[in-house]
Amino acid sequence: MPVDPTALPRHVAIIMDGNGRWAQDKGLPRIEGHRRGANAVHEVVRTAREIGVKALTLYAFSAQNWLRPPEEVAMLMRLLREYVIAERAEIMDNAIRLVAIGDLDRLPGLVREPLELLVSDSAGNQAMTLCLALSYGGRESIVATSRALCEAVKRGELSPADVTEGCFQSAMQTADLPQLDLLIRTSGEVRLSNFLLWESAYAELYFTDTYWPEFGRDEFVRALESYRGRQRRFGRTGEQLRRLG
Ligand code: IPE
Ligand code: IPE
Ligand code: MG
């Protein structure tokens, strides 16, 4: 189905949820759901790139996911490493720039090393930015930004009056991504789970019952179609927007 490029979100973010329940429903171990989830990532990245979305942020591991059983965390880390290594050619061949947000220092070297390498090797790519949220928390990222600004004030580089919304925005890890237009969550849960709290202030939200491993091209296009039908008012009235054209 063709998507009208004039009404395309520039930045889409996805809470990729439901891997465990997908596996449990099939009598499989949870990790099998995570493995299948990696295939869905491949398909959705490819689709976003083909359609012309400029930035795609994927919630792959939250700050709170460290609380999961150690064996599941270890398997997820191994899968992340495999993903970064296996997708290298796809990312480079399609001129995708890979970036990562979150508390990356907490990631084990087995993930951090191939990740940092691909982030640096893909830095000049310009077709699309793929942003992986890893060990990421929305509150944690707001706190980290606040702390960095306080330190700049303490060093005398910034005055408290300079701390405006724009200044705060440009100090966030997501500063160089376009404004978040569309936020998708799979699996039927209707919550943000600490994802992109600052960035989602005016994002359009799309929730689907589909478990992440079953999410693919068609459902991604359906989410974009739903976005196309929304009127984004940013506080104004519908009448004002019609007059502004
Ligand atoms: C999302 O699937 C993947 C991660 C959070 C890493 P879940 O593992 O949360 O799957 P459910 O929600 O238990 O089904
Ligand atoms: C959110 O899913 C995190 C990711 C998709 C990586 P969770 O499954 O961890 O969220 P909660 O705990 O159900 O809110
Ligand atoms: Mg979940």
Nearest residue CA, atom 14 of ligand 2?
193
Q: pLDDT digit string (tens) for 108-117?
A: 999 999 999 9
Q: Which two tokens stand for residue 90?
A: 């796809």
Nearest residue CA, atom 3 of ligand 1?
17
Q: How far apart are CA 228 and CA 194, in angstroms?
A: 26
Dihedral (Cα; 169, 178, 242, 224), 10-degree rounding: -130
Predicted confidence pLDDT, tens digits, the chain (245 residues): 455 556 999 999 999 999 999 999 999 999 999 999 999 999 999 999 999 999 999 999 999 999 999 999 999 999 999 999 999 999 999 999 999 999 999 999 999 999 999 999 999 999 999 999 999 999 999 999 999 999 999 999 999 999 999 999 999 999 999 999 999 999 999 999 999 999 999 999 999 999 999 999 999 999 999 999 999 999 999 999 999 87
Using a 6 Å cutoff on CB, does residue 65 contact ligand 2?
A: yes
Q: For the chain, list the domains and their CATH numbers.
A: 5-135+179-230 (3.40.1180.10)
Q: How far apart are CA 238 and CA 240, in angstroms?
A: 5
- The ligand whose atoms approach the alpha carbon of 59 most closely is 2
| Inter-residue contact 64 to 139 (CB < 8 Å) | no
Q: Among residues 159, 161, 163, 181, which one has the least CA distance to residue 172?
A: 163
Q: pLDDT digit string (tens) for 47-56?
A: 999 999 999 9
Tokens 């980290």 correspond to: 144
DSSP code for 178: P
Q: Which atom of ligand 2 is nearest to the CA of 18?
A: 8
DSSP code for 135: E
Using a 6 Å cutoff on CB, does residue 132 contact ligand 2?
A: no
Q: How far apart are CA 154 and CA 157, in angstroms?
A: 8
The one-letter code for the residue type at 161 is A
- The ligand whose atoms approach the alpha carbon of 21 most closely is 1
Catalytic site residue 176? no
Q: What is the pTM of this model?
A: 0.97
Q: How far apart are CA 98 and CA 120, in angstroms?
A: 8
| Inter-residue contact 126 to 99 (CB < 8 Å) | no
Burial of 238 (0-12, 13-18, 19+ CB in 10 A): exposed
